[in-house]
Structure formats: C-alpha cells, structure tokens
C-alpha cells in the first residue's frame, strides 16, 4: 500500500522525518491552538486490523469476545487522553486501483494456500505472524463492533485514503492514525503510525511530510509527482521505470552512490524540471510519451483534496467522479438513502450493488485444494442472484416504479433493504465459520 519504497526510505535513510510524539501532549497543544474543536484523530480502520487482532486461535474463525475486549482497551486509552476518534473503513474499490487490488488478493490467496499446507502437515495453525491471515470478514464486522461501542464509524464511497485525508483536513483534526505512505503525500493533517503506537504511554511516530520535503529539497506540492514517479496503486512502478533509470543515472554522475539514492534521484529530477513562470508548464516539461503523461496527470489529480491545486497540472480540475452504472435502474432518492446508510456504516454492500451492480468479495480463509467443499463464491452464487433480483429491476424504470406504486416508496425500500442486509451479513458470517 502507498508509495513504493517511501516507508523504508523515511525510516532507514531519512530518520529526521520520523518524529516521536506524545499523543497526550499533542492533544493538549491542539486544543490550545483550536479552543473551539476537540482533539480528534481520524483512524484508518483497515490499517489497524492487524494491530487490533492479537487473538491466538484465529484459524478457526476468530475469537470475538477477546477481540471486542482489545477494541475496548484501545478506545479507553484514547478516551483517557481526551482524544476523540473517528473511524473510516474502505467501502469500495475504485476502478483505477482495481488492478492493484486484484494483485493483492492473489498474493493473499498464496499465503492462505501456505497456511492450509502447514495445517495439513503439522495438524495445527501456524504460530508465526509471517504466516497469518486475518479472519474473514473482520473489516466488515469491526465497523459494526466499533459502532456498538459508541464510536463514530464511517464507510467510504470512494478511495478510502482520499476520504480520510479530506475529512481530517476539513474538520481540523489533530492527525490521521494509519500505516500508509499515501498520507505523507496528501497535503493534510499530521500522519501518525499505528505500527509504532504504544498504548501504555500513548506515544507513536509522526511521519513528517514537511521534514521529508526539506531533506529532498521539494515543495509540498511536488509530493504527488514524487509518489507517481516512484510508483503507487494508480501508477504502476514499472510504467515509470525508464524515467527513474534516467534520473538515477544522471544523479549518480554528480553524487556518490548512497542508500536510498533512487528517491534522492527522483527528487533531484523534479527539482531540475520544476515548473516556472517561463517556458513549458506542468508534466509537459518532462520528457514523456503520451501514456506516461496521462498516467502522471491522473495520479497527481487523485492526490488533490478539495480546493487544492498543483503546479504540475495545466488544469487543476478535480478528477472526474465515478459513474453510477445502475443510474438508469435505481431512482436517485433510493440511491441517496442507501448511500447515507453506507457512509454511516449502518449497512453492508447494499450501496455497492445499487451503484455498481455487483457484490465484490475479498479473500476468505478456505482451502482451494479441498475438492469436496465448493468455494464460497460458488456456494453463495444463488444468494447473490437473489440479492441482485431484489435490488436491481430487470428493465430500467419498470420494476422499481411498479413496486413503489404498490407498497409505497419508503415501505418497499426498507422491507427489502433489511432483508438484503440480513442475507449479506449471513453470507459474511458463514464465511467466517467455514
């Protein structure tokens, strides 16, 4: 996740950018500077799952009561420090990141295969955290668990990192708690490490984008281009390999080889070609083929939060929002109602079906070599078909309107809404236990 190699560079080659912080003191300082707002930390829930889930017997589906106890301890520590938490969970996979998402799912499938091979060989679950898989559906149930504990839990309708960064900036939050170097690239509030968090003394590490820029001699607005040239979820690392190799060759002609020189070389390349008031403007000033130019512009645009601009773009218009594929089938007010439930983490996958027309399934802990048991994707195919049949009309503007006339808009929607939610949650629950 995040920018290729940037986490290693900041920790190993640029330690000044990794600042130890006391969260209690940060909260006190934040309230002093902003007396009208509470000290709020936005939490990337997806990044915290491994930190939270420390239960021992995970391969059988997970220890729920023990996990809830861990979550309560986590919340109590922040409450004692007078820090309010807002949790975000990924609610969709955006099309521009789908290819990378699929690659990760396939890599996790390989890990799951090794886990089952270990179980067959040794008759017990692996004890190493290197050979470990989170229980199926943990992200889904964690958002509901946090709500049951009185926390504000939200679900994204676009790229999760973007929504977290935008929310934190617009709500004047104290920081973002997660583990993704994209939060260094977004021009938002301070990025705090969940992996470095010590709940006993409420300390962690702040990855400072300001100090990173100082070391690399870059402006804050250059960081999106740095991320795209190094490679991220939108711009594949190999797509910019030609340009990076050229930058590295030029850099090594002027400097001796050092650890992390790839990042230094790309930063130097950006500085040399930085847009000015004279001559060419934006990424057009770089020696790029058209496909590379389009990829960089797209990648940079995705890092721009509301109202932000980039000197590397000829036009700083916002990246076009995704198109609702089911727009001709689903009335706008029904879609709006589903989106509100979705963003408030009060339902599961209904909005995805109404918006994109599909249910997306992540990895589940199942043995692909077990021929006697059908895979969950096949097992639940009739359930998914039933869900599609309930939520999606056969023809645009026919089934929905007919049923709305018979039952009334609210009663029809709520009746099927809760039925579908029950089906979907049952699917996820059974995936945990098989």
d(C-alpha 67, C-alpha 113), whole Å: 25
Torsion of CA 412, 418, 424, 428, to 10 degrees: 180
Whether residue 351 contacts residue 157, with contact meaning beta carbons closer than 8 Å, is answered with yes
Whether residue 208 contacts residue 223, with contact meaning beta carbons closer than 8 Å, is answered with no
For the chain, residues with pLDDT lower than 50 are 398-407, 409-412, 414-415, 418, 426, 429-434
Largest distance between two CA atoms of the chain: 77
Domains annotated for the chain, with CATH where assigned, are 6-211 (3.40.50.1010), 217-303 (no CATH), 332-432 (no CATH)
Tell me, what's the pLDDT at 32? 96
Tell me, what's the pLDDT at 196? 98
Q: pLDDT tens across 173-202, in order?
A: 999 999 999 999 999 999 999 999 999 999
Nearest to 229 by CA among 219, 239, 220, 221: 239
Measured over the CA atoms of residue 254, residue 259, residue 262 and residue 266, the dihedral's sign is: negative
> What H or E segment, with its residue span, contains residue 154?
strand 152-155
Tell me, what's the pLDDT at 407? 47
Tell me, what's the pLDDT at 423? 55
Nearest to 221 by CA among 320, 319, 301, 317: 301
Where helices occur in 34-177 by DSSP H, the ranges are 45-52, 64-80, 98-122, 138-148, 160-170
Check residue 48 and give left, alpha or beta (phi > 0: left; psi -120 to 50: alpha). Answer: alpha
Measured over the CA atoms of residue 223, residue 225, residue 229 and residue 231, the dihedral's sign is: positive
**Tokens of residue 281, six digits:** 């403007």
d(C-alpha 158, C-alpha 165), whole Å: 12
Whether residue 178 contacts residue 191, with contact meaning beta carbons closer than 8 Å, is answered with yes
Neighbour-count burial for 341-360, b at 16+ CB within 10 Å, e otherwise: bbbebebbbbbbbbbbeebe
Phi, psi (degrees; rounded to nearest 5) at 171: -105, 10
Tell me, what's the pLDDT at 420? 53
**Tokens of residue 71, six digits:** 């979550």
């Amino acid at each position: 996740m995040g920018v290729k190699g940037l986490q290693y560079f900041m920790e190993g080659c640029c330690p000044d950018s990794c600042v130890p912080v006391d969260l209690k003191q940060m909260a006190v300082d934040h309230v002093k500077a902003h007396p009208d707002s509470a000290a709020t930390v936005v939490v990337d829930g997806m990044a915290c799952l491994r930190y939270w889930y420390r239960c021992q017997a995970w391969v059988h589906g997970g220890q729920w009561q023990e996990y809830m106890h861990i979550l309560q301890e986590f919340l109590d520590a922040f409450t004692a420090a007078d820090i309010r938490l807002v949790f975000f969970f990924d609610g969709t996979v955006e099309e521009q990141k789908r290819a990378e998402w699929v690659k990760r799912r396939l890599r996790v499938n390989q890990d799951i295969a090794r886990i089952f091979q270990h179980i067959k060989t040794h008759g017990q679950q692996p004890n190493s955290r290197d050979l470990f898989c989170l229980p199926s559906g943990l992200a889904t149930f964690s958002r509901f668990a946090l709500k049951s504990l009185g926390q504000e839990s939200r679900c994204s309708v676009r790229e999760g990192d973007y929504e977290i960064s935008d929310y934190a900036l617009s709500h004047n939050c104290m920081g973002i708690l997660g583990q993704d170097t994209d939060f260094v690239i977004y021009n938002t509030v301070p990025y705090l490490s969940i992996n470095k968090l010590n709940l006993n003394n409420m300390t962690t590490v702040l990855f400072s984008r300001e100090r990173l820029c100082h070391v690399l001699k870059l402006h804050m607005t250059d960081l999106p281009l740095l991320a795209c040239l190094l490679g991220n979820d939108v711009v594949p690392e190999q797509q910019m390999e030609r340009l990076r190799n050229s930058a590295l060759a030029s850099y090594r002609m002027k400097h001796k080889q050092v650890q992390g020189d790839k990042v230094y070389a790309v930063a130097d390349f950006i500085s040399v070609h930085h847009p000015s008031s004279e001559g060419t403007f934006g990424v057009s000033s770089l020696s790029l083929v058209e496909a590379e130019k389009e990829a960089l512009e797209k990648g940079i645009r995705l890092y721009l939060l509301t109202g932000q601009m980039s000197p590397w773009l000829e036009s700083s218009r916002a990246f076009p929002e995704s198109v609702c594929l089911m727009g001709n089938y689903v009335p706008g007010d029904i879609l709006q109602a589903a989106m509100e439930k979705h963003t408030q983490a009060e339902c599961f996958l209904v909005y995805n079906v109404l918006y994109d027309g599909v249910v997306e399934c992540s990895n589940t802990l199942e043995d692909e070599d077990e021929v006697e048991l059908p895979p969950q994707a096949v097992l639940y195919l009739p359930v998914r078909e039933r869900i599609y049949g309930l939520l999606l009309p056969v023809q645009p503007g026919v089934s929905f309107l007919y049923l709305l006339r018979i039952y009334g808009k609210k009663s029809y929607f709520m009746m099927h809404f809760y039925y579908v939610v029950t089906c979907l949650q049952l699917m996820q629950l059974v995936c945990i236990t098989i």
